[in-house]
Each structure stands twice: as structure tokens, then as C-alpha cells.
Amino acid sequence: MPLIIKGAASSHGAQVTDNRVSETVAQVISDIRAGGDAAVRAYSEKFDKWSPASFRLTEDEIRGIVAGVPETTLDDIRTVQRNVREFAKAQRASINDFEVETLPGVFLGQRSIPVSAAGAYVPGGRYPLVASAHMTIVTAKVAGVERTVACTPPIKGEIPAATVAAMHLAGADKIYLLGGVQAVAAMAVGTESLERVDLLAGPGNAYVAEAKRQLFGEVGIDLFAGPTEILVVADEYADPFVVAVDLLSQAEHGPDSPAVLVTTSEHVARETLEHIDRLLPTMPTQDYAGPAWRDHGQVILADDLDEAYAVADGFASEHVQILTREPREALQRMRQYGALFLGEGTCVSYGDKVIGTNHTLPTRGAARYTGGLWVGKYLKTVTYQEVVNQASSAELGELCGRAARVESFEGHARSGDVRAAKYAGAELPWAPDVYRAESA
């Protein structure tokens, strides 16, 4: 049995929506649905104290903003977006259309068609999440989305220049300085100045997440995302200092971000705890990382790696980092995770910011049933059918008649009967006499 060396002070399970959040979000969506642009402006003034002449940035405004971003930052954005683009292109290339002939003259096919329009939400708030622009917009464009709308909030009344630059360089067709529920609702339901989209993507706070939940069905969404999570699996070969640094790297996302260590080494467990105690007070973000570690941090001692992997799978964590002598073993041993980070040379922060895989990943146990954002999320997998052989159509018609009548679907059965009669001379006892006479 695993031994809990440090337990979580607060529970962290499936997403439970705060009633106040739900009610506020429902009211905002309802008002924007009814009031359009005027309601969007009223909520932007209320929540962000932001009411420009137009929320949409013009091409000239975008050029001016990008020109003010340091060239080193722009080069870094281009490099990261190249990494994201290359991986997304490889994903797209792995999705193939196909057609098969299952009977003589019976052709069945599959196509992957991009949604026509996607909305990318790039959060602001305390942290301008520039990387979210890469993950949502670049991936949409590689998928072939024709129209990509991007929204990001102002930060304390200022334009987040690097975020705007990232949106522009990623290929956003329209960029709006608009945040929160009002942005998500406007993209989903449409207003006089913002044409509705088909799919929403991107992370956000509890209000944005709840807005996506309420709007799902009216539009598609990438996934429901909660607080960032990290779980490290470590053996006796792991460096406790590296383990501590990597756990805290994700704890700084917010006070409700779980950071979990599952290790087979009591030495690694104890040393990691000591390093965290020394590192936390010096972190500029310790006001987030501190409560996150205090309330949601865990250290669990497993008997062996078999147990460690089983415990890790039980968490179904968003990010799972493997710091063991043979990290690639986890590819065969684990099934429940958003993304794996294998070996000391890899860290979750690479995935968050620069390496090229998508950082929008399932949280709160959702890795049990879904992966994260990828090219495929922007694609609709559709099928088509064509029967050009009359004998095959007649055979299918007879089969359809029998199968449909088992379910008491007489209308379905008759569609099959007609083809069996027309192409193979089968009887149509239910048809009017005049039709049977004409067919004969």
C-alpha cells in the first residue's frame, strides 16, 4: 500500500460549478444574446473598465502594436509557433481520408472537414498567456479553419502587446481586445459586429470555463479545463532538487493547482520536501504557489514502480512527468494522463511554453476519457456512401427491409423494399396497385 507522506489539505475532484458563478455567467450570456454589442460593451466596462470605440483591432493598429514589441520577443514567438506548427502539421498528416468498396459497387468513404470558424480565447488577468495564442490559433490554421477569431482582455487598461503579436503571427483573421464571459458569449452567439463561430477553444478562469460549459451544444468546445495539475513519478535516480523545482513550476499557476509526487524513494520524498520549503519563500509567485502546495500538494511513497504507475493512473493528471532511470517505460505502463514528459531533460514547462505539443489539456480526471486540444478538435469526421451496382443495392434493400422491421420501422423497410423491387424484381405487397402495375 502506498504511504502518504504529505496529504492534500483540500479535496480536488471532478469540476463542481459554484452556483454564483453559474448564475452570473447565465445572466451575461442571456443579456448578450438579447442585447448584442451594447451588452458586450456594458459588461466590458463593468468587468474590465474597458470601452474603446471598437473592440476589434484594425490592421494598422495591429501593425503598430507589433512594431512596439522587442525583436527578441517576436523572434521567440516565431520560433515557438514554428514548433507548434510542425507538430500540428504532423498530426494533420496522420489523419487520412479514405474510401473502401465493401460490396461490388458499394463505396463507403470518410472525410475530415475543418470547421468553418473557430474562436480562440487567450486569457489575460494576472498572467498574459501568450502561449495560448500559439496553441489555439496555429493549430486551427493548420487544421484548415478558414476564419479564426481571437479575443484577449486588456490588462489593467493596457493592451497586451506580446499577446496581440502572437495572435497576429499565428494567423488570426480578426483580433478583439475583449475578455471574460462577454468575449466567449459574443463569439458563440454572435453580435452585430462579431459573427458567431462554430467552435470555441482556449483556457480561462472559472467564469470562462462555465461559459463554455453553458454554451456547449450551441457551439463546439475544445474541452473543459480546470486548474493546472502536475504529477511527478520518481525513482531513486531522480534529483530531488529538480523534482521540487518542477512541482513548484506548475503550482504557481494558481492557489488551486495540485502538485503531486509519487516516488519509490523515501530519500527523494524527504529531500524534495526540504527543497520546496527552501524554494517557496523566494518565489516571486509564492502567493499562488504557496497555497497551492499547502492545500493541494501531495507526496506519496510507493513500494515499487508498478505501484507508482498505478497510483499515477488513478490521478489521471493533466501533466505527468517521469523522472526515472527508464522513463520511456511509462509509455507502456500508463494510460491516464493529458501529456507525458519523459526524463530529466524534459519538463512540463517546455510543453506549456515552447516545445510544440499543445498545452490545452484535460484536468480534474478528464484524462480518463479525452486527450487535449489538437488538430483533430477542429475537424469534423464525416462519412459518405454511394451504391452504383444494382444487384448490391437490391441485396442491401432486402437486408434493410428485414432489419428495419425487427425494429418496427416500416418506413425504413419500404425504402429498402423499393430498391429490391426495382433492381431485382422483389414483390411490393404494400405498394398501391397502380405502382405495381407500372413497375411490371
Is 318 a residue of the active site? yes
Q: What is the 3-state secondary structure (H, E, C) of 252-317?
A: CCCCCCCEEEEECCHHHHHHHHHHHHHHHHHCCCHHHHHHHHHHHEEEEECCCHHHHHHHHHHHCC
Q: Quick one: cell of 47?
A: 468587468
Q: Quick one: cell of 246?
A: 518542477
Q: Which of 12, 168, 296, 319 is catalytic?
A: 319
Cα 130 to the chain's mean position, in Å? 16
Q: Quick one: cell of 428?
A: 411490393
Between CA 46 and CA 52, with CA 50 as vertex, the angle to 5 degrees is: 135
For the chain, helix (H) and strand (E) counts, in that order, are: 18, 14
Q: Which of 318, 344, 359, 395 is catalytic?
A: 318
Find out whether 373 and 212 touch, Cβ atoms under 8 Å: no
Distance CA 197, CA 181 (A): 15
Q: Quick one: cell of 20?
A: 454564483
Q: Does residue 179 sit in helix, strand or coil? A: coil
String of DSSP letters for 193-210:
SS---SEEE----HHHHH
The helix (run of H) or strand (run of E) holding residue 165 is helix 161-170
Find out whether 77 and 342 touch, Cβ atoms under 8 Å: no
Find out whether 299 and 6 touch, Cβ atoms under 8 Å: yes
Q: Is the dihedral of CA 153, 156, 158, 161 positive or negative?
A: negative
Distance CA 317, CA 368 (A): 9
CB atoms within 10 A of CB 418: 17
String of DSSP letters for 43-63:
HHHHHH----S-SBPPHHHHH
DSSP annotation of 389? -
- Report in angstroms the alpha-carbon separations of 375 from 59, 92, 112, 142, 384: 27, 6, 11, 7, 22
Active site residues: 318-319
